[in-house]
């Protein structure tokens, strides 16, 4: 795998430095735990105030709902992860509220409360997780439109619903999970609109049965929603979010082509997740296109190693595999790191982790096939719909940028149109933009490439000053 020397020649490759983990979600916490168990206390960094990551995000101080209310069927796992973290927190170098905004060979750049700091590293585990993948729809910038993840965070950490009558639209397990969570919390549901037909899901039943517990949970969410009389539509495509100044409805086309409308005052939408992999890119890790998920992801092997010596990846930041797989991958990457440092690791544990990871893979592949990304919906976004919210670039402007004599890949389309040049640096619009460009060029989506990342990976206050 090719990498380049600018990114990979680590001046601290032999230094006696503690391993550094970025991300304190399921992957990062389990990695920290495994390193500490081997007597190597890591530095664990997260921009959030508490450990837990996205799925097991803790409530802000003062909120006191119990784990069962917060995490439902996942309460046991959430509690286990929080307990595991609490047990090691005092013995590791835990740095919450700290953004890693840049990576150079052997060097992380941190920002916390206006102070910038350089942290030298020898070994690095990136466990940076994922974010929602969205498809821009007419009206998606109206107040009241949330990503599925955003709607879930509102519910989980602040105990607020995003509306009185919420329409859920998208595909993937999170769509159903979130609708279930809203129903349990007593929220009104206008409709659950899954862009995947039920037949597509049924076809994956054998693969999904490899994790019968997960399948059963998923089915129980669907069944519970149906029993509660929630309007459920599968194989339908959203057409527009309606409303003046705020969300008032959702228009969609059902599987038979009939246009329908649901009255709602909020919309939660999302089509799976995409890896948050900018730090991996800055660290010099090569990327690959995952055709099952239609995502670009940094390339790692099953042990968490990458082409860059000393840089390991774990969890959804290296390809969406879910929280359980993230825990396994975190521990596995830590063991690889220990081995590469010449430490003995428990062969039984290693084999067990690999076995469990392998077993989850069949389920993951079935899940990917059961909830495919509706790329034609993204590619067909009407010309007047805004694709890039930060820079207010419409699908039509993007198409104009690739028309004859124009751009032939996504970075050049960005240069011509300003798409992806704003505050989020294309993290939100890139998946849909790539589909639009590919369709316009008649090229496979992987051929139009991906937006290149640069520091800062998230906005950095210009008031940041180096600590002496």
Ligand X SMILES: Cc1cc2nc3c(=O)[nH]c(=O)nc-3n(C[C@H](O)[C@H](O)[C@H](O)COP(=O)(O)OP(=O)(O)OC[C@H]3O[C@@H](n4cnc5c(N)ncnc54)[C@H](O)[C@@H]3O)c2cc1C
- Under rule CB under 8 A, residue 2 binds other proteins: yes
Q: Residue 252: which region, alpha, beta or left (left: phi > 0; alpha: psi -120 to 50)? A: beta
Residues between 403 and 462 that touch other proteins (CB under 8 A): 405, 408-409, 412, 415-416, 418, 421-423, 425, 441-444, 446-449, 454-456, 459-462
Residue 206 found at the interface with other proteins (CB under 8 A): no
Which of 32, 44, 7 lies closest to 337, judged by CA?
Answer: 32
What residues numbered 7-26 form the site for other proteins, per CB under 8 A? 7
Kindly give the pairing relationship between strand 249-253 and strand 237-242: antiparallel
Contact 270, 296 (CB under 8 A): no
Single out the residue of 387, 411, 400, 392 nearest to residue 440, CA to CA: 400
Q: Which does 128 bind (CB under 5 to 8 A by kind): ligand X, other proteins, none?
A: ligand X
**Does the footprint of other proteins cover residue 468 (CB under 8 A)?**
no
Q: Which helix (H) or strand (E) holds 430?
A: helix 430-441
Closest separation in Å from C-beta 45 to ligand X: 5
Structure tokens at 449: 């490439």
55 sits near other proteins (criterion: CB under 8 A): no
Contact segment (CB under 8 A) with other proteins among 5-13, 80-88, 325-333, 342-350 equals: 5-13
Site for other proteins in 268-307 (CB under 8 A): none
Quick one: which of 69, 118, 141, 220 contacts other proteins (CB under 8 A)? 118
54 binds ligand X (CB under 6 A): yes
Secondary structure (3-state) at 117? strand
Asked if residue 78 binds ligand X (CB under 6 A), the reply is no
Residue span 116-145 as binding mask against ligand X, x where in contact by CB under 6 A, dash where not: -----------xxxxxx-------------
Between CA 131 and CA 272 the distance in angstroms is: 9
Does residue 149 interact with ligand X by CB under 6 A?
A: yes
- Applying CB under 6 A, the span of 21-29, 300-308, 383-391, 433-441 interacting with ligand X comes to 21-29
Task: For ligand X, give the closer residue by CB, 125 or 395.
Answer: 125
315 binds ligand X (CB under 6 A): yes
**CA quadruple 247, 249, 255, 259: dihedral sign:** negative
Cβ distance to other proteins smaller for residue 237 or 387: 387
What distance in Å separates the CA atoms of residue 363 and residue 321, rounded to the nearest whole number?
9
Instruction: Give the residue with the Cβ less far from other proteins, 102 or 360.
Output: 102
Q: Which of 145, 174, 282, 434 binds ligand X (CB under 6 A)?
A: 174
Q: Mind giving me the DSSP string for 130-181?
A: EEE-----TTTTSTTEEEHHHHHHHHHHH---S-SEEEEEEESHHHHHHHHH
CB atoms within 10 A of CB 83: 9
Distance CA 107, CA 120 (A): 4
Return contacts of 253-260, CB within 8 angstroms, 24+ apart: 255/197, 260/233, 260/236
Nearest distance from C-beta of residue 374 to other proteins, angstroms:
22
Show the tokens assigned to 163: 């509306």
Q: Given the structure tokens 């032999």, which residue do they identify?
A: 14
Smallest gap, in angstroms, from Cβ of residue 345 to other proteins? Answer: 32
Which residue number, 260 or 290, has a Cβ lying nearer to other proteins?
290
Q: Tell me which of ligand X, other proteins, none is bound by residue 273, counting a contact when its beta carbon lies within the kind-specific cut-off of 5 to 8 angstroms.
A: ligand X
Give whichever of 52 and 456 is closer to other proteins, judged by the CB atom.
456
* Residues 263, 251 contacting (CB under 8 angstroms): no
Q: Binding residues for other proteins, how many (CB under 8 A)?
A: 44
10's tokens? 């680590």
The tokens describing 340, both together, are 């590469």
Cα separation, 420 vs 392, whole angstroms:
10
CA-based diameter of the chain, in Å? 66
The 3-state DSSP class for residue 198 equals helix
| Residue 359-398 contact track with other proteins, rule CB under 8 A, x = bound | --------------------------------x-------
202 binds, among other proteins, ligand X, none (CB under 5 to 8 A by kind): none
User: Is residue 247 a contact point for ligand X (CB under 6 A)?
Assistant: no
Q: In terms of Cα–Cα distance, which of 115, 114, 79, 88 is closest to 21?
A: 88
Count of residues in the chain: 468
User: Considering only residues 26, 139, 187, 238, which one is a binding residue for ligand X as defined by CB under 6 A?
Assistant: 26
Strands 232-234 and 188-194: parallel
Q: Which does 163 bind (CB under 5 to 8 A by kind): ligand X, other proteins, none?
A: none
Q: Which residues in this chain contact other proteins in the complex, by CB under 8 A?
A: 1-2, 4-7, 101-102, 104, 107, 109, 116, 118, 391, 405, 408-409, 412, 415-416, 418, 421-423, 425, 441-444, 446-449, 454-456, 459-466
Binding site for ligand X (CB under 6 A): 22-28, 45-48, 53-55, 99-100, 127-132, 149, 152, 174, 177, 273, 276, 279, 315-317, 322-323, 326, 457
């Amino acid at each position: 795998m090719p990498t380049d020397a600018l990114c990979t020649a680590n001046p601290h490759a032999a230094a006696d430095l503690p391993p550094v983990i970025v991300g304190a979600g399921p992957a990062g916490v389990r990695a920290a735990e495994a390193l500490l168990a081997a007597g190597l206390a890591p530095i664990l960094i997260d921009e959030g105030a508490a450990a837990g990551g996205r799925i097991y995000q803790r409530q802000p101080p003062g909120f006191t709902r119990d784990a069962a209310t917060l995490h439902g069927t996942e309460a046991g796992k959430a509690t286990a992860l929080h307990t595991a973290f609490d047990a090691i927190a005092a013995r590791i170098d835990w740095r919450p509220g700290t953004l890693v905004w840049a990576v150079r060979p052997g060097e992380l750049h941190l920002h916390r409360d206006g102070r910038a700091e350089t942290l030298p590293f020898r070994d690095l585990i990136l466990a940076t997780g994922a974010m929602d993948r969205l498809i821009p729809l007419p009206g998606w910038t109206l107040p009241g439109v949330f990503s599925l993840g955003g709607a879930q965070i509102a519910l989980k950490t602040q105990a607020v619903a995003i509306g009185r009558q919420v329409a859920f639209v998208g595909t993937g397990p999170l769509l159903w999970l979130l609708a279930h969570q809203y129903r349990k919390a007593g929220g009104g549901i206008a409709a659950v609109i899954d862009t995947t037909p039920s037949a597509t899901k049924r076809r994956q039943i054998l693969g999904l049965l490899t994790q019968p517990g997960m399948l059963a949970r998923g089915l129980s969410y669907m069944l519970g929603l149906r029993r509660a009389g929630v309007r459920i539509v599968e194989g339908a495509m959203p057409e527009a979010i309606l409303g003046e100044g705020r969300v008032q409805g959702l228009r969609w086309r059902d599987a038979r082509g009939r246009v329908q409308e649901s009255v709602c005052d909020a919309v939660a939408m999302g089509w799976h997740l995409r890896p948050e992999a900018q730090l991996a890119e800055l660290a010099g890790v090569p990327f690959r296109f995952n055709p099952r998920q239609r995502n670009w992801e940094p390339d790692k092997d099953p042990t968490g190693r990458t082409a860059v010596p000393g840089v390991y990846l774990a969890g959804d930041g290296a390809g969406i595999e879910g929280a359980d797989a993230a825990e396994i991958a975190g521990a596995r990457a830590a063991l690889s790191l220990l081995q590469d440092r010449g430490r003995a690791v428990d062969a039984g544990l290693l084999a067990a982790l690999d076995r469990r990871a392998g077993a989850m893979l069949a389920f993951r592949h079935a899940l990917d096939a059961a909830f495919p990304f509706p790329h034609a919906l993204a590619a067909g976004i009407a010309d007047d719909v805004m694709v890039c919210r930060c820079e207010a670039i419409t699908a039509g402007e993007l198409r104009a940028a690739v028309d004859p004599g124009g751009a032939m890949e996504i970075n050049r389309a960005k240069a011509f149109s300003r798409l992806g040049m704003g505050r989020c640096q294309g993290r939100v619009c890139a998946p849909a933009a790539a589909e639009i460009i590919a369709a316009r060029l008649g090229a496979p989506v992987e051929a139009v490439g991906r937006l290149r990342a640069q520091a800062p990976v998230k906005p950095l206050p210009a008031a940041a000053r180096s600590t002496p």
